[in-house]
Amino acid sequence: ETLTAILSPLIAEREAMKTSQLKLEMGGIQRTFQFIFRGTGYDEKLVREVEGLEASGSVYICTLCDATRLEASQNLVFHSITRSHSENLQRYEVWRSNPYHESVEE
């Protein structure tokens, strides 16, 4: 709860930035730029560490499986670990280096 209270202004600022536009005159021509905010994942990582996966908005119940909270609530018996920590590190590195799966042109 404390962390949520601390991060709330940051979240509000980011949401405002998503719809912000910068208007500049360049060479006598009015230009409009829109901000596209892309997080680094560090805030989410901090929230997960302090308050768990659910607090960070994740649909998964843990970092070592592919079961969502909905699936786990419907089937509590057959929950199992499907990934190792090294596989998680590989997934995180791919996500960190290209979180939106953008091509070189983008």
58 with 87, same domain: the answer is yes
Query: Which domain covers residue 12, as residue numbers?
Result: 1-37
32 with 48, same domain: the answer is no
34 vs 21: CA distance, rounded Å: 5
11-56 pLDDT, tens per residue?
A: 777 676 666 777 888 888 888 877 665 555 556 666 666 555 555 5
55 with 101, same domain: the answer is yes
31 with 70, same domain: the answer is no
72 with 98, same domain: the answer is yes
Cβ neighbours, 10 Å, residue 67? 20
49 with 31, same domain: the answer is no
9 with 53, same domain: the answer is no
43 vs 55: CA distance, rounded Å: 12
75 with 26, same domain: the answer is no
53-105 pLDDT, tens per residue?
A: 555 566 666 666 777 777 777 776 666 667 777 887 787 777 777 766 677 66
